[in-house]
Every structure is written in C-alpha cells, then in structure tokens.
Structure 1
C-alpha cells in the first residue's frame, strides 16, 4: 500500500532515478571495503558503480539490454581485478527490473549464467570449493531468486489491477448499454401508449364529428349527442394522458392506475355510439400483473379502434379468460367487409394478401400503419404471441399473454 501511494506521488522516471541511486550507493560501499582483488578501489571502480545505477533509467524501455549490460559489466569488473562485490548485489536490480516488465525467462537465464561463470572461474583460480559452493553460493542464489520473484509478483499484481480496472470499465459500459436499452424500450412503450390512446380517441372524434356535421341543421338532438360524445371522449383521453404522465414521473406507481381491462366498458360505449354492438365476456379469476393488465387493455383498445374505423360489421365480441399461467384475449367482429386494397399483418408483421373489411396495412389511407405491429410488440415484450386475420366468423385478433414475465 505504501509503495502504491509512493508511485502515485512520484513519476516513473523519479522512481527509476531513486533505484539507480540506491544501486550506486550500495555497490560503492561494497567496493570501498576493499576486500580481495588485485588492485584497490579507484575512481574507475566507483564510476562503474555509477554506471550500474545509471542503467536503471532505461530499465522500463529496455529491460533485457539493461540486464545484459549489467552482467557483462560485472564480468569486466572482475576481469580488471577490482575488489570483490559478490555476484548477486550488482545484478539484483537488473534481475528485478527484467522480471517486473515481463522478461522472466531472460532474468532466470542471466542469473544462472552469472552464477555458473562466477563459480567456474573462482574454482579455476584455486578458491576453496567448500567455501565457494557450500557457503557463498546459497546466499547469492537466494538473493537473486528473491529479486526475480519480487519483480514477477509486482508485475502480476499490476496485471491483476489492470484486469480489474478493465472489468470495471466493461461493467460500467454494459450498465450504460442496458440503461440505453431500457430507455429505448420505455420510449417504444410510450409511443405505443400514445398511438393506442390517441388513435382510438381521434377515430371516435372524427367519426362523430362527421355525424354532427351531417345532422347539423336537420337533427339537433343527434348533433348534440355526437358533440357530447366528442366532449366525453376527449375528456377521458386527457385524463388518461395526465395519469400516464404522472406514472412516468413516479415510475413506482402501480400501472393499474393508468389502464386496465376493467376499462373495457368505455370502449364498448364508444363503439356502440359508432353503431357497433360489442359483447364482453370476462372470465379472469386470477389477479393480473400490472404490465399484463395494461398491455391486454391496449391490445383490445387497438383492435376495437380498427373495428370502428374499418369494419363493415355491426357486432363484435371481446373475450378474456385466464388459462392456467396464460391470459387469452380475442376480439372478433362479424363484418363481411369489402376488399379495400390493403394487406393483413400477422404477428410476424408480414402481409398475406388482400383482406376485406380491415385496413391493417394502411391507416387513414395515408401509408403504413402501426396498429398490428404495436399489438405484436406488446405481446412479444411479455413473452406472448399475437395473431390477426380473417376467420370464418369475421376478422379476429387473438393474443396469448403469460401471467409471469418470461426472461
């Protein structure tokens, strides 16, 4: 911990300069003791010690070169006959540096070569075998091994710390991506809600505005009824939009406070005003999760909107019942319809030919619509399925929603 704090305070070159100064000081002290050798310590010997220290300034960029020059310099020092300085002390810093910067093999090989050369020449010179091998060798080997092990452990710790930082960065990046994905999903959900709610409302308002315009000056009661329905529908929609905005501001609020299958009755009233009678059969015995409840209502709402806008029938039936872990929905009308040049869309969003009675591929005759796609996205976001198409009884939208979230 102390070393790590020191590294944070000192730049790398300063650390290397301190190591170099330490090497020069220690080797110079050993040289000054004047033990052995054919000639006493002089300025060249101390200059050699300073050279070993200066090599530390290049230990980060050229650790192998520093190691090789140190070993060769040691051999040249002894060949010149200067006082003994051992073999471990002068090369310890170079061995440490090589191991610290990932040159472990070079450090081990250099240590073995230095020891072997030293023992060989000392024995040739006639020094006592027991003293050279039995007494001094173990200490030299232990000191060099400790330097190599310390350098390698420091390198391993740095790599581990770098790996931990990288993992932290990747984790933070993943969290940012997940947050972006959640934001995108929320935007899609808001878009679907706005499409379903406002699309249904505008369809009803447009229809009854036409009724009021045609009856204006001819049937005052019908005009008044159409205008009252427009007012009630717009008021309900504004109230629902306010609740939706309130939910967005307080996301922990129960989604049931916004929309629920319990509000299907309002859809039946709007459709009845448009001349379409809707029968509702609700056989839901289990308590629905808020997300399933809200999505089920939106699917039914969009299906009813399509019926009001495009169906030539006069009746429709809404059915909802829980089947074990599933909620099954269906909205079926009785319209024979007439082909209006549009294609049906299934839950996969692909067209399957001309479908009479429903403008699935286009809405308002202006281009591709998003009704079926929105219903499909709602169902699939919960792990369910949705199909839409012509059946014998009429045009049907059927959805199956799991009551538990599918991961």
Structure 2
C-alpha cells in the first residue's frame, strides 16, 4: 500500500542517521568516562573531553567518508598522546572508526588503520623503555584482538545487509515473475473469450442474415418458409444472447474461466449457414481415437468460423468439411470451390477470423494453414490428441 511504502522509505532514510548519532554519543561518552577514570582525582581540563567529543562527532560522517574518519581518528589519537593527556588506550578510540570502514565495505582501510595505530603505539612504547614482555605479550595482543573483532563485526554487518538485499531482490524478482505469469494467463483467457465471442456472434449473425433474406423473399408467397426463417432467427438470437450472458458472467467472476463450447457432435449446427445459403455441403467425420475436450472445442470453432467465412466471402457453390484422427492427431479440413477476388492475394480479408483460428490451433500445440488453391479456398488444421497444453 502507498502509505506503508512511504513509512518504510522514511524509516530507511532515518535509521542510518539515528544509528550514527547513537554511535557518536556512545564513543564520546565512553572516552569521557575513560578519561575521568584515569586522572586519579585530578582535573584533566576541558581539552581531553573536547577531543573525545570530536572523535565521537566523526561518527556522523562515517558512512560517507570512512577512510577520512579512520585517518582522522588515528591521527587524533596520536596527537592526543603527544599532548600528554590522560591515557585512553589504543583500541577503544579506534574501534568505532575501523568498524565503520568495514561496515561500508572498506575493509582494507580498516585493516590498514588498525595495523598503523598498533605499529606506532607499540614502537613508541618500546622506544621509551616500557617492558617488552608487557607491551608485546599483553597490550599488543589485547589491542590487536579488539581491533580485529571490530573489523570482523563491521564486515559481518556488511555481509548480512548484502544477503538481505539479495534476498529482497530475489523476492521482488519472484513476485514480478508471478505477476507476469498472472497477466499472461489473464491475457490468454481474454483472447480465448474474444475468439469465442467473435466466432459465435459472427456465426449467429450469418445465420440471422441468411434467414432474414429467406423471409424477405418469401413474404406473400410462402408463409411457411417465412415462419420457419423467423423461428430460426429467434432461436439463433436467443442462443447467442445466452452465450453472451455466460461470457459476461465469466468476466465478472475471475475465478471461473471455462465456457461451454459445442463439440464435434454439434457439427451440423456449424455447417447450417452453408446449407441455408444453398451450398452443397459434404461433411466427412471419422473419429477413431478419444479427443480431449479442448481439442474438440477448437475443432468445432475452426469449422464454424471457416463455414461462416465461406458463406460471407467465397461465392462458392460447394463446401467440404473433413474431420478425422490419425497417428495421435486430429485433422480438420474445410475447402470450397469459390473463386479468388481479383484484388486479393494469399489469405482473404476476414477480420480476426483466420488469426483466431490459428491461435486456437497453436495454443494446443497444433498448426493451421489457410489460403487459396487452384480449386478454391482451404483451411487445414492439425492438433495433437495428447495432453492439453
């Protein structure tokens, strides 16, 4: 939700600054306590505390300038001791700086700063005559362990954040993938419905137009023919309206996507417009293998749309519809003896009809070819009878 996203963005922007401020205050307070504890009751003056505050203030820019913060911290510590102020150790003042450098991925800077301050402090102590066994056997080891722990902790925090960022990225990619798949499924469902509406309505309008013409020509001459034509028109429009209502109901209920589509047993209704138009219809159906419902529905729609196109565009006298199974495939062939219009080349201009038929066949792993031959126009589709795709 937008409000939640805005809140998360605000937290993401504010949290680093809050953490830096807390770390700065912690560094300044810790060093101040160490200074106070090491003065043996005397007053050290204001400068050591100002130095502690300055070292803490560097934490406010530790993310933006990690190398500079390490350099100023090491240099500031050396200057502090050169001025003769109360001892504060070596690791405690530098730990926050090297942690910060490692946290933002500047591990080499953190290691270099740690090595530099250890080398300088150890060399100085040995040079002024402090016991080597104490300096090397205790102080150096202790300070080295503390600084190594600070660097390791900073690098661990960086690695954890990187893993979290990667996990979020993967989650976003997965969510985007699911979103795209959902959109693709929705698009496929809409295309299926669009093809069904196109085929059923186009077929119905062809039937209505043909019977309206029959009724108009029979008025006053053959009342029985008029009545029969009007009855067919009424039956067709009622059936088409019911089909449209089912489609609208599906669109209003996204969870339900299947529509009842006639099968090959209703092939007679698919070729009826051709018979009404006076065409000689030859239908040959030989089914020797079980046919999946989706393949059967696609075959019916292909025959229906092909017949509708013949009646509308082909100026044919004869149409042949052949449907048969062979070698695990369903073959559908619709051919007529119409003539090619003088201005037409290749596939006829039949709106979305041929494209829709081809999409139906390809969606089931099949193929569909359509075009003119020497004897007329042919639509030939082949679809596998295996698993529905």
- Calculate the TM-score normalised by the size of structure 1: 0.83
Structure-to-structure mapping, 1:6-405, within 5 angstroms: 11-34=15-38, 41-248=44-251, 255=258, 257-333=260-336, 335-337=337-339, 339-345=341-347, 360-361=348-349, 363=350, 369-391=351-373, 394-404=376-386
- Distance, in Å, in 2 between the alignment partners of 1:400 and 1:34 is 93
The 2-side partners of 1:81 and 1:88 are apart by: 18
Distance in 1 of aligned mates of 2:363 and 2:186: 14
Aligned-partner Cα distance in 2 for 1:391–1:8 = 69
Partner of 1:366: none
Task: Work out whether residues 267 and 300 of structure 2, in 8 Å CA contact, stay in contact via their aligned partners in 1.
Answer: yes
TM superposition shift of 1:288: 3.0
- Distance in 2 (CA, whole Å) between partners of 1:322 and 1:250 is 36
Q: Is the 8 A contact 1:260 1:294 kept in 2?
A: yes
TM-superposed deviation, 1:10 = 7.6
Alpha-carbon offset, residue 51 of structure 1: 1.8
Deviation of the 1:264 alpha carbon:
1.0
- What is the SS of the residue equivalent to 1:318? strand
Aligned counterparts of 2:250 and 2:326: Cα–Cα separation in 1: 30
1:15 and 1:314 mapped to 2: Cα distance?
86
Contact 2:306–2:334 under 8 Å retained in 1: yes
CA offsets, 1:14-58, max 9 Å, x none? Answer: 32222222222322232234389xx98333222222221222222
Secondary structure, counterpart of 2:333 in structure 1: strand
Q: Distance in 2 between matches of 1:79 and 1:338?
A: 104
Q: Deviations over 1:280-337 (max 9, x none)?
A: 333334443333222221111101112222334443232223334422211123x253
Q: Distance in 1 between matches of 2:378 and 2:363?
A: 21
Contact 1:40 1:83 in 2 (8 A): no
Q: Which residue of 1 aligns with 2:6?
A: none
Separation of aligned partners in 2, 1:253 and 1:56: 59
Q: In structure 1, how many angstroms separate the alpha carbons of the residues matched to 2:257 and 2:323?
A: 22
Stretch of structure 1 that moved more, 58-67 or 246-255: 246-255
**Cα deviation per residue 1:232-285 (whole Å; 9 max; x = unaligned)?**
222332233334444555677694733322221212333222222433333334
Q: 1:74 to 1:302 in 2, by over 3 A?
A: same
Q: Give the aligned length.
A: 378
SS state at 1:397 partner:
strand
2:370 and 2:12 map into 1 onto residues whose CA distance is 66
Change (3 A) 1:187 1:299: same
Post-superposition shift, 1:205?
Answer: 1.4
4+ runs deviating over 6 angstroms: 7-10, 251-254
Report the Cα offset of residue 405 of structure 1. 5.7
Residue 352 of structure 1 is matched in structure 2 by: none
Q: Does structure 2 retain, via aligned residues, the 8 Å contact 1:389–1:395? A: yes
**Which range moved further: 79-88 or 231-240?**
231-240
Cα distance change of structure 1 residues 83 and 338 upon mapping to structure 2, 3 Å threshold: closer
CA distance in 2, matches of 1:247, 1:16: 57
Contact 2:340 2:372 in 1 (8 A): no
In structure 2, distance between residues paired with 1:253 and 1:94? 61
Cα separation, partners in 2 of 1:254 and 1:185, compared to 1, 3 Å? closer
SS at match of 2:262: coil
Does the Cα contact within 8 Å between 2:21 and 2:60 map onto a contact in 1?
yes
Measured after TM superposition, the shift of residue 200 of structure 1 is 1.1
Check 1:395–1:8 CA distance in 2 against 1; reply closer, same or farther (3 A cut).
closer
- Asked if 2 retains the 8 angstrom alpha-carbon contact of 1:318 and 1:332, the reply is yes
Secondary structure at 1:258 match in 2: coil
3-state SS of the aligned residue for 1:339?
coil
